[in-house]
């Protein structure tokens, strides 16, 4: 019997996919909605990326549920050289297939991709859609998951969504090429979802996008004698040392603080000299690029209980647990590697299922829920969690 998709949810996912074609930051929302709508229990991860099989390399286009550390590990260690990537490279373009079609499960469990990576996240199988291929490069959407049954609904959705994903990525690529030819890097940075600042070797700010200027206004960063300063002098010295041409690490992590504001995680990158062409003639002699985002903390000890009690999807339950334990929407987005818009989409689903519409009331309701209650042995006199 063929599975039937919820038409409204399917249309919403298609709409998000085309929004992502115009604004790449929206890929997290589109992919989050896809796996949240059609993935079964714990199938809430998606990776849209270009991979090269010779020599192995990879570049993420978008993702859902993959934090920065996991993305970095995959790109540097497994992109283009794991069995799913290598064996899937020659599959027909537009096809959707299960990882068991590529390699026998017993053999796959012996590979480094499983033993050194997937097993850490309790993942064993995956659905892969091959969207495009150019020589040794291919574009794929991979949704890994646990061995808890065939994800038939997600597989059906992917087969229908493949043409939309292909068109959206091609549209985005053409727009990107047009922007590059027009040398509109400044406009792209102005629209970036993270705070970005560029400094010369003396730490004089050459450029700051809107969010970067907010860091200065809110006191996370300061200017003294025209030079960028951090609240901690030791961190300012580290930043100044990074700007000096030298061998060694090209980047450093910082924690930015401001009065009565949440902490922000920042990364500073030294831009090496490019004799043939400056980094960007619009910005002048850039030496340091600073990118800042929300710091995070999260705990998911009560995910299963909240999922059962309120009828949440796995992704919604993770967010609910984070909020119940004092985390913020921004914490969750950073930890899961998704945009704040993707987190807000999940929050709307939680509001609907818990029948509240404000964050304080939601947190209170989540904390009042009997977290050790199990669906199979609930006492008959327990009140409805939605009452």
Is the N-terminal amide bond of 314 cis, ω within 30° of 0?
A: no
Torsion angle, CA of 226/231/235/238, rounded to 10 degrees? 0
The answer as to CATH 3.40.190.10 being correct for domain 187-294 is: no
Q: What is the mean pLDDT of residues 324-349?
A: 81
pLDDT digits (tens, 9 = 90+) for 45-75: 999 999 999 899 999 999 998 888 888 889 9
Length of the chain, in residues? 387
Q: In the chain, which segments carry CATH 3.30.450.20? A: 187-294
C-alpha distances (whole Å) from 358 to each of 327, 364, 365, 371, 384 are: 15, 10, 11, 21, 20
Q: In the chain, which segments carry CATH 1.10.10.10? A: 303-377
Report d(CA 60, CA 51) in Å as an integer: 9
Looking at domain 7-181, its CATH superfamily turns out to be: Transcription factor LuxR-like, autoinducer-binding domain (3.30.450.80)
pLDDT digits (tens, 9 = 90+) for 231-280: 778 888 888 888 887 656 677 777 788 887 777 777 787 876 544 444 34
Distance, CA of 199 to chain centre: 27
- CATH architecture for segment(s) 303-377: Orthogonal Bundle (1.10)
Q: In the chain, which segments carry CATH 3.30.450.80? A: 7-181
What is the model's pLDDT at position 377?
Answer: 35
Report d(CA 140, CA 131) in Å as an integer: 5
Report d(CA 119, CA 104) in Å as an integer: 17
Report d(CA 151, CA 142) in Å as an integer: 13
What does the radius of gyration of the chain's CA atoms come to, in whole angstroms? 23
Report d(CA 163, CA 216) in Å as an integer: 44
Q: What percent of the chain has pLDDT over 70?
A: 80
CA-closest candidate to residue 191, choices 170, 204, 206, 176: 176
Report d(CA 103, CA 109) in Å as an integer: 10
């Amino acid at each position: 019997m063929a599975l039937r998709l919820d038409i409204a949810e399917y249309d919403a996912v298609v709409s998000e996919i085309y929004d992502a074609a115009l604004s790449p930051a929206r890929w997290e929302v589109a992919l989050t909605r896809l796996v949240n709508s059609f993935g079964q229990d714990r199938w809430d991860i998606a990776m849209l990326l270009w991979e090269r099989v010779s020599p192995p390399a990879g570049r993420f286009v978008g993702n859902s549920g993959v934090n920065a550390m996991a993305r970095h590990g995959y790109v540097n260690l497994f992109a283009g050289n794991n069995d799913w990537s290598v064996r899937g490279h020659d599959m027909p373009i537009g096809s959707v297939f299960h990882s068991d079609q590529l390699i026998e499960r017993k053999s796959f469990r012996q590979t480094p991709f499983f033993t050194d990576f997937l097993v850490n996240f309790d993942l064993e199988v995956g659905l892969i859609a091959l969207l495009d291929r150019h020589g040794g490069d291919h574009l794929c959407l991979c949704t890994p998951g646990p061995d808890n049954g065939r994800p038939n609904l997600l597989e059906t959705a992917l087969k229908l969504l493949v043409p939309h994903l292909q068109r959206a990525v091609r549209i985005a690529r053409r727009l990107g090429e047009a922007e590059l030819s027009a040398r509109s890097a400044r406009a792209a940075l102005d629209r970036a979802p993270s705070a970005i600042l560029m400094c010369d070797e003396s730490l004089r700010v050459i450029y700051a996008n809107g969010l970067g200027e907010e860091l200065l206004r809110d006191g996370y960063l300061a200017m003294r004698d025209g030079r960028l300063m951090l609240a901690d002098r030791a961190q300012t010295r580290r930043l100044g040392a990074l700007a000096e041409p030298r061998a060694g690490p090209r980047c450093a992590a910082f924690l930015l603080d401001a009065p009565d504001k949440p902490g922000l995680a920042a990364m500073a990158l030294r831009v090496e000299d490019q004799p043939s062409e400056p980094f960007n003639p619009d910005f002048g002699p850039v030496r340091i690029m600073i990118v800042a985002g929300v710091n995070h903390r999260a705990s998911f000890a009560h995910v299963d209980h909240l999922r059962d009690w309120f009828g949440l999807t796995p992704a919604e339950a993770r967010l609910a647990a984070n909020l119940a334990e004092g985390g913020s929407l921004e914490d969750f987005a950073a930890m899961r590697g998704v945009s704040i818009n993707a987190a807000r989409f999940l929050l709307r689903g939680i509001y609907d299922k818990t029948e509240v519409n404000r964050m304080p009331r939601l947190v209170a309701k989540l904390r009042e829920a009997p977290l050790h209650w199990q669906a199979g042995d609930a006492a008959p006199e327990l009140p409805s969690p939605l009452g």
